[in-house]
Structures are given as structure tokens and as C-alpha cells.
Amino acid sequence: MTEKRISAGILGTGWAVPDKVVTNQDLTRLVDTNDAWIVERTGIRERRVAEDMPVSELAYRAAKMALDDAGTAPEELDLIIVATLTPDRVIPSTACVLQDRLGATRAAAFDLSAACSGFAYASTVAGQFISNGMYRKVLVIGAETLSKVVDWTDRNTCILFGDGAGAAVYGPVEDGYGLLSFDLGSDGSGADVLDIPSSGSLNPVTAQTLAQRLNFIHMDGKAVFRFAVDIMGKTVESSLAKIGMEKESIDWLVPHQANIRIIKSAAKRLKLPLEKAIINIEHYGNMSAASIPVALAEAAHAHRFKKGDIIALAGFGAGLTWASCIVKWAKED
């Protein structure tokens, strides 16, 4: 292990979404809802649905794009972390599936479970390995096919979620750039507020749990909303406080895309004009662990960030969990 901490930052980004678009209008054929309600209460107009595609396919496409963008060969990767709540299978990890498909012959691989906070959690983990000098190149992916765990007869949830994947290659960057700070948190007392009740050893899938539709996402939307409006701004404030940075220093907020009202409230608390928040919820809905990296990658490839910009990534989700990272953008445009 080296003595000096190495600055770890983003070398390249990528994203992928399925082609199939499901509009709010399409959903009115499945549940009692309407476009006006969904747009006003959530900001969502449409979402992507993977249909037959497994999550590893979306993750693979996002990863390839990020590796190309970073100029990194798969053989250079030391580690692959996939943040997901919709893996291909419980075992093997989706990260292992990717390791093989990418030809990342030297890489260790594991999945990380922190729901919608997963990408910020995984980015923080990647940063530790690079900063202590043990690893040089880490691929972090947030990927979801939530359409496969959503109850398409439940209007409280099916309007919200979508499928996609975003990826970032982390590696050593110029001193003082990259990941500057982070805040990770959990409150397991809120475990039942947002869960898939029959999905593991607590309540294994049986004919009965399937009949009760317990293999789908269940959510107390109001409880999650209350938690989210408080935590999203608060976690960024905690990350900033650790490095003595003021809110005014933030150039961009890349928030978890759960609800436009939650994003607006976080931006207000951080005294950030809404134009400084990267928002794509209108087109993709809530892609859980993929929300932040897809927004980040789209913005990066649209040349919205310049070297030295201070970017706050902020997420919250099932667990309950929350996470934020402060990143000083290290890439030359």
C-alpha cells in the first residue's frame, strides 16, 4: 500500500437504455391513471422497458461506452462493481457476467446492494481502492430492469419506474481532482417502506407469494417522499461539511431521478438554480441505481461539465439508504 492518497476520479462515462418507450398514455390502458396526474406529481412523461433483455445486456452496453470514453482496455480493469436491485440472477453476480463478456481478465467483480443509492455507494467504494493505491482502474455500473419487478396492476408504483444502465470508469487523476468527499448512510428501520417482500430467504417465492403479488415492488410512497425531501439536500450538506466546502461552490447537482418535486426541493435547499441540476426524469422515470450514472453520462457527453467543475451526486432509496459524493471534474472536454 502506498503512503500518499491518490486522487481518484472519473475517466470516462457511458449509458444505455432499451429502445422500447412506454408513455403515460400507454399506462392508461393498464391502470386507472392519466398523463396530467403523472406529469404533475412526478415529472415523468415516458420510460424505457427492456422487455426480453437481461440487465447484463444494458450494463454491457453502458460499460463498453464508458471504457471507450476513458480509453481504457477491459484487461486494465482491476475491479467491476455493479450496483443493482435487478441482477440477472441472485448468483452469479451480474458483475461476474460482465467480467466475462467484457474480457476483463484481471478484474475482481461483485454486485453492490444499496438500491437507488447504489451508484454513489459503489463510486465511493471504487474511490477507496484507487486512493489507497491497491487498484488503478475500477468500472462502476448502475443498471436496472425495474420493469421486471414492477406490478403493472399497481398504479402507485408502475408509473414511476424504468430500465437503463449507466457506467463510469474510475482511475487516478490529477492531484486535488476527482472524488473529494462522500456521505453514506442507512436506516434499516425503514426496511418495509420500500421492498420486494418475497424475493429472498425471509419470504421465499412460492405459488402463494406469487398469487399475493409479493414478488413485486411494494412502496409507501408518501413515507419515501417525506424521507427523500429531507435526506437529498442533507446528505450533500454532510459531504460538503467534511471538506469545508460551501453550497455555493456546487456547479452541478446530479440527483437520483425519483420525482421532480424531490429534485426541486433538494436544489432549493442547496440554493442551486434548477438549471444546475441534471434532470432526465421526464424521459426515463426512476431507474434506481442507473438514474445517477445515466444522467451523469448524458451530461458529460453533451459537454455540460468543464474541468474543475464541482459536481454533487446525491441519491436515496430502499434500505433505507442515502449517499452523496462531491466530485471535482477531472476530464478535459
Interaction site with ligand UT7 (CB under 6 A): 33, 37, 41-42, 116, 155-156, 159, 194, 219, 221-222, 224-225, 228, 258-259, 286, 288, 317
Rounded to a whole number of angstroms, the minimum distance from the CB of residue 155 to ligand UT7 is: 4
Rounded to a whole number of angstroms, the minimum distance from the CB of residue 157 to ligand UT7 is: 7
**Dihedral sign computed on CA atoms, order 236, 241, 247, 252:** negative
Task: State the DSSP code for 192.
Answer: G
d(CA 20, CA 238): 39
In the numeric block, which cell numbers belong to residue 275? 438549471
Residue 148 or 155 having the CB closest to ligand UT7: 155
Rounded to a whole number of angstroms, the minimum distance from the CB of residue 4 to ligand UT7 is: 38
Residue 316 or 329 having the CB closest to ligand UT7: 316
Rounded to a whole number of angstroms, the minimum distance from the CB of residue 142 to ligand UT7 is: 12
| Run of H or E residues at 88 | none
d(CA 28, CA 2): 58
Could you tell me if 331 and 305 are in contact, meaning their C-beta atoms sit under 8 angstroms apart? yes
Residue 7 or 145 having the CB closest to ligand UT7: 145
Residue 37 or 152 having the CB closest to ligand UT7: 37
Rounded to a whole number of angstroms, the minimum distance from the CB of residue 310 to ligand UT7 is: 25
116 is catalytic: yes
Residue whose C-alpha cell is 482511475:
171
Residue 204 CB-half CA count within 13 A: 2
Rounded to a whole number of angstroms, the minimum distance from the CB of residue 117 to ligand UT7 is: 9
d(CA 190, CA 187): 6
Could you tell me if 48 and 162 are in contact, meaning their C-beta atoms sit under 8 angstroms apart? yes
Collapsed DSSP state (helix, strand, coil) of residue 129: helix
286 is catalytic: yes
d(CA 239, CA 183): 5
Residue 99 or 291 having the CB closest to ligand UT7: 291
From 96, 116, 158, 325, active-site residue: 116
Strands (E), the chain: 8-16, 21-23, 46-48, 79-83, 108-112, 138-145, 163-172, 178-186, 194-195, 218-219, 252-255, 310-317, 321-328
**Dihedral sign computed on CA atoms, order 197, 201, 202, 203:** positive
Question: From the CB of residue 269, how many other CB atoms can be counted at a distance below 10 Å?
Answer: 16
Residue 131 or 324 having the CB closest to ligand UT7: 324
Question: From the CB of residue 164, how many other CB atoms can be counted at a distance below 10 Å?
Answer: 32
The CB-nearest residue to ligand UT7 is 221
Rounded to a whole number of angstroms, the minimum distance from the CB of residue 317 to ligand UT7 is: 5
Residue 7 or 24 having the CB closest to ligand UT7: 24
| Run of H or E residues at 242 | helix 221-242
From 96, 158, 286, 325, active-site residue: 286
From 256, 259, 283, 325, active-site residue: 256
Partnered with residue 255 across adjacent β-strands are 314
Taking alpha carbons only, the member of 309, 242, 312 closest to residue 271 is 312
**Which positions are annotated as active-site residues?**
116, 256, 286
